[in-house]
Amino acid sequence: MTAVVGAAEGPGDLQGSAARWRRRYAVDRIMRWGLPLALLVVLAPLFDMIYWIAVRALPTFTLATLTTDQVGLGGGLYAMIVGSFTLLGLATGFAAAVGIAAGMYTAEYAPPPVARWARVAGNLLAGIPAIVLGYFGYYALVLYTHWGYTTLAGGITLGVFMVPFIYRTADLAFANVPSEQREAALAMGARPGQYLTRVAWPIALPAILSGVFLAMAIGLGETAPLLYTAGWSSTPVAGLFQPTSFLTGAIWNFYDYPATEGSFQALAFQAAFLLLVLVIGLNVVVQAVAERYRRRTRGMRA
Amino acid sequence: MDEPHPPGDRSGPDRPPAFLGPPAPAAPAPPRRERSLGRWLGSPLALAPLLLLGIVVAVLAIASEGQNFGLSFWGPVWAFNPTDPAGSTYGIALFALGTAITAGAALLLASGLSLAISIALTVYLPPRTSRVLTTLTDLLAGIPSVVYGIWGFVVLAPYFASSLEPTLRNALGWLPGFGGPESAIGGGSGLLLGIFILTLMVIPLTTAVMRESLRSVPRELVEAGLALGATPWEVVRRVRLRVARRGLWGAVFLGFGRAVGESVALAMVLGNTVQFPPSLYGGSSTIASFIFTQLDSAFFYPELLRALVEFALVILILTIAFNLLGQRAVSEVRPRAVAGAGGRA
C-alpha cells in the first residue's frame, strides 16, 4: 500500500478507483476483527489459570483449611494466613507512613527540582526487582543485625517494596486536588498547614486509600522479599522476632510435591486459590474507591 | 490545628471552604515562618524514596565487600564447591544468557500482543467493552507470580511436554532452538514454558503503557487523518503509532526491566539447571531466579553470598537503566505529541 495520507498525493487520492477503495477498507476490517484476537490470546490463559486453580483447590477446601495449622503432610493454612496478614500489617504501616508523608511533601512543599528527582527515585524504587530487595533484607536485617529470620525483618522488607506504590498515588492525589480549592482556601486566610489537613487531605483521601489497597494487593502476592527475611514456621507467628510462614511461601515450598489427596500440593493450591480471591477482592475495592474519588472531584471541576 | 478562624472561614473536614455569604474580610498573610519550615522539613521527606533507593544500593555495595566483578565473574563457568568455596568459580554468563533469552523472547511476544491489544482497546472496541477488557488485562498484573508459577508447573508443564513441544519440534525442528533429540523434551519445565509465563506477566505492564500513549495522541491529528479520507487503520499506522512512538518504546523498556527482575515464577517453571540450554525445551536459570534458589545455601558460604550480591547488583543496574530509559520515553509522550502537532501542522 502506498502513501495514502501523504500530503504529496493530495485530494486526488480520495477519488481512487473503487478497487483500491475496497482494498483499503478490507485491510481496515481485517484489523478491526483481527487485533482484538490478541486479547483472547491473553485472557484465555487468565481464565484457564483461575479455572485450574479452583479445580485443584476447591474439592479439599473446607472451613478447616482456614482455621487449622499445617500438620504433617496436610492440615490447614491458619498459620500462613495469620503470618501473611501480620507481615502485610507491618509492611502497610511502614509503607503508608513513609509513602503518604513523602507523597504529600512532594506534591505540596518540595521545590520543583527536588520533586522531580523524588518522583524519578520513586519510579526506580518501584522497578527494583523483588529478589534484590529480598537480598537487601536478608543481608541488612537477617545477617547484619543477627536477628535471624524474623517477622519484623519480613515486614520491613515488604514495606520498602510497597513504599513506591503508595508514594506515587499519594503524590498524584495531592497534585490532582483542583487548584481552585487551594486558591479558595488560601484566599480565605487558611495557612498552608490548614489547607493541607482540612481541604486537600479529605479530597485526596480516597485516591490515597486506593493506592494503599493496591500496594496491599501487590504486597500480599510477593514471595521474593519474604522468603529469606521472614523465614518459615509451621505454627502461627509467635512474636515480632520469631519467624513466620505466609501464603506465598506455602505455594513456593509445597508446589513440587507429588499430587495426592490432602497433600502438600493440595495445600499449595488452596493457598493459591485464597491469594487469588484476596487479590481480586482488593482490586475490586481499589476500583470502587477510585470510582468514588472520580465522582468526588468531578463535581469540583465542573 | 486549632487556631482561631478568621470570620467567614467555614472550612471544615468535610466541607471545603467556599464563598458562602458575604466575602470574608482580608485575612492576615500566612506567617512566613510556617511556610519555610514546611519547605525545609519537606525536602528530606520528599526524598524518602531517593533515600530508600540509596540505602538499598549502599547495602548491596557493602555486602559485596569491594572485591567485585573479576574476570571469572563474567565467564560462563559456575563451579561451586562446598568444600572449597574460596577456590570455586562464580561465572554469571550462563545465567545472563538465560535472562537474555527469556526476557528478550518474552518482550518480543509481549510487545506485539500488547500493541495489538492497545490498538484494539483505544481504536476499535466500543468504549464500554473496552473498559471491561481493560479491567481484565489489569487484573492479570495483580496475580501473584507464585500463582503463575504453580499454574505453569502443575497445569501447563505436562501439556507442554506431552503435546505442544513434540508438535513444535516436528513442525519447526529446522529452526535453531526448536530441534534437538526427542529426549531433550523433559517434564515440560524449560525455556519455552518460562518464556510463555514471562510473556503473560509482562503483558499487563506493556499494554497499560502502550494504551495510555495511544490515548494521549491529540484528537485533532486523528480527526485530521480521518477527514482526509484515511481509513481508521491508516490513521493508526500513519498518525497514532508515529505520534505515540516514544511512549511505545517506553513500554518496551519498562517491560524489559520487569522481565529481568522476575524471579519466583521463573524459578518454578524454568527447571533451574546450570547449563547452556540445548534447545528451547531445555532447562535454564536466569540471574534473578538463580539468586532466588541459591540464597538459602548462601547462608553458610560468605563467598557464595558475595557472588550472589554481584548478581543482584547486575540486575539492579540493568533494571534501573531500563526503567530510566522507559521513564524518559514515557514522560515525554505528552509534550512531544503536542509539539509534534504544532510542528507539522
At residue A55, the pLDDT reads: 92
DSSP single-letter state for residue A266: H
Which residues of chain A form beta strands (DSSP E)?
A: 70-71, 74-75
* Distant-in-sequence, close-in-space partners of B32: CB < 8 Å, separation ≥ 6: none
Claim to verify: residue A43 and residue A154 sit in the same structural domain: no
* Between A104 and B184, the higher pLDDT residue: A104
Total residue length of chain B: 345
Residue with cell 473446607: A62
Q: Does this complex have an ipTM over 0.90?
A: no
What is the mean predicted confidence (pLDDT) over A245-269?
Answer: 84
Q: Does any domain span residue A23?
A: yes
**Residues 40-59, chain B: which have Cβ within 8 Å of A?**
41-43, 45-50, 52-53, 56, 59
Claim to verify: residue A44 and residue A81 sit in the same structural domain: no
Claim to verify: residue A109 and residue A226 sit in the same structural domain: yes
DSSP string over B171-229: HHTTSTTT---GGG--SS-SHHHHHHHHHHHHHHHHHHHHHHHHHTS-HHHHHHHHHTT
Mutation choice for B interface testing from A80, A139, A216, A228 by most B CBs within 10 A: A139
B271 forms beta bridges with B284
Q: Is the pLDDT of residue A41 over 50?
A: yes
Q: Does any domain span residue A10?
A: no
Helix axes B287-298, B245-261, angle to 10 degrees: 30
Cell numbers that stand for B101 in this block:
533469552
What is the mean predicted confidence (pLDDT) over A184-209?
Answer: 88
* Rg of the Cα atoms in chain A: 26
A239–chain B nearest CA distance, Å = 23
Q: Does any domain span residue A92?
A: yes
Q: Does any domain span residue A273?
A: yes
Q: Does any domain span residue A2?
A: no
Which structural domain, as residue segments, surrounds residue A204?
A: 61-301
A224/B264 Cβ within 8 A: yes
- Considering chain A, what is the average pLDDT of its residues? 85
The domain spans of chain B are: 95-344
Query: Reduced to 3 states, what is the DSSP secondary structure of residue A2?
Result: coil
* Distant-in-sequence, close-in-space partners of A163: CB < 8 Å, separation ≥ 6: A94, A95, A98, A99, A102, A125, B48, B49, B52
Alpha-carbon span B48 to B320, nearest angstrom: 17
Claim to verify: residue A30 and residue A94 sit in the same structural domain: no
At residue A177, the pLDDT reads: 87
Cell numbers that stand for A301 in this block:
471541576
Q: Does any domain span residue A108?
A: yes
Q: Does any domain span residue A219?
A: yes
A176–chain B nearest CA distance, Å = 15
Minimal CA–CA distance to B305: which of B122, B86, B94? B86
Claim to verify: residue A89 and residue A143 sit in the same structural domain: yes
Residue with cell 471491561: B132
Alpha-carbon span B316 to A133, nearest angstrom: 10
At residue B176, the pLDDT reads: 78
Our count of domains for chain A comes to 2
B177–chain A nearest CA distance, Å = 23
A56/B154 Cβ within 8 A: yes
Fold observed for domain B95-344: MetI-like fold (1.10.3720)
Claim to verify: residue A268 and residue A240 sit in the same structural domain: yes
Question: CB of B232 within 8 Å of any CB in chain A?
Answer: yes
A8 — pLDDT class (breaks 50, 70, 90): very low
Helix axes A264-301, A247-254, angle to 10 degrees: 140
What is the mean predicted confidence (pLDDT) over A258-282?
Answer: 85
Claim to verify: residue A246 and residue A225 sit in the same structural domain: yes
Minimal CA–CA distance to B188: which of B290, B282, B284, B262? B282
Q: Is the pLDDT of residue A269 over 80?
A: yes
At residue B336, the pLDDT reads: 34
Claim to verify: residue A72 and residue A218 sit in the same structural domain: yes
> Cα–Cα distances in Å, from A234 out to A74, A76, A149, B268?
11, 10, 14, 22
DSSP single-letter state for residue B90: E
Claim to verify: residue A241 and residue A146 sit in the same structural domain: yes
B90 forms beta bridges with B78
Q: How many CB atoms are closer than 10 A to CB A284?
A: 14
B120/A39 Cβ within 8 A: yes
Contacts of B53 in chain A (CB under 8 A): 121, 124-125, 128
Contacts of B47 in chain A (CB under 8 A): 102, 114, 117-118, 121
Lowest mean per-residue pLDDT among A4-8, A87-91, A150-154, A277-281: A4-8
At residue A7, the pLDDT reads: 43
Minimal CA–CA distance to A111: which of B42, B45, B52? B42
Query: Reduced to 3 states, what is the DSSP secondary structure of residue B32?
Result: helix
Low-confidence ranges of chain B (pLDDT < 50): 1-28, 30-31, 333-345
CATH number assigned to the domain comprising residue A104: 1.10.3720.10
Claim to verify: residue A92 and residue A120 sit in the same structural domain: yes
Q: Does any domain span residue A8?
A: no
A45/B200 Cβ within 8 A: yes
